[in-house]
Amino acid sequence: MDIRVQQEPFDLGCEAAGFAEKTSASGAVVTFTGIVRNTPEGTLEYMDIEHYPGMTEAALGQIATDALTKWSLEDAMIIHRYGKIRVGEMIMMVATAARHRKDAFEAAEFLMDFLKSRAPFWKKEVSRDGAGWVAAREEDEDALTRWQQ
């Protein structure tokens, strides 16, 4: 299990390859990457991401541990950045490794659903017209209920 909270960019190709190489019993690796998307008007300059040092690492560790318990995974990884991240840059990635793809896909989705609303990060959008905190979406909260059965 590899959990990283960092300001620096990461290299998706290197991280995905390194993660896959470390596995020995897996036939499936799934990765998901989140990228800073521009507004429809194209005015966004960057995202400023704040987090709660200490709690962030603990929450991500707990979410990954839950995934490893719930699915038959060999390994899981989460990288999440904070600070100023420009449009088009990568914010975060998760990777899961399992014998078969179903476990790897489902566990990756579970990690994403919990990261969205249970990991202490807050996004501020800074655009040419001003700055504002991104509001949490109700769908993100609803997404958690399907994992609670």
Partner 1 sequence: MDVLYFAWVRERIGLPRETVETQAETVADLVAELIAREERYAAAFADLSALRVAVDQELVGFDASLAGAREVAFFPPMTGG
Q: Which residues bind partner 1 (CB under 8 A)?
A: 34, 50, 52, 54-55, 58, 80, 91-92, 112, 115-124, 133-136, 141
Query: Smaller CB distance to partner 1: residue 73 or 115?
Result: 115
Nearer Cβ to partner 1 (74/119) = 119
Could you tell me the smallest distance in angstroms from the CB atom of residue 61 to partner 1?
A: 12
Least distance from partner 1 to the Cβ atom of residue 43, Å: 19
Cβ nearer to partner 1, comparing 27 with 122: 122
Minimum CB–partner distance for residue 6 and partner 1 (Å): 14
**Where on the phi/psi map is residue 88: left (φ > 0), alpha (ψ -120 to 50), or beta?**
left
How many whole angstroms separate alpha carbon 81 and alpha carbon 122?
A: 11
Least Å distance between CB 96 and partner 1?
A: 15
Tell me how far, at minimum, the Cβ of 146 lies from partner 1, in Å: 16
Q: Which is nearer to partner 1, 11 or 141 (CB)?
A: 141
Tell me which residue of 134, 112, 113, 136 sits closest to 123, measured CA to CA.
134
**CB-nearer residue toward partner 1: 68 or 90:** 90
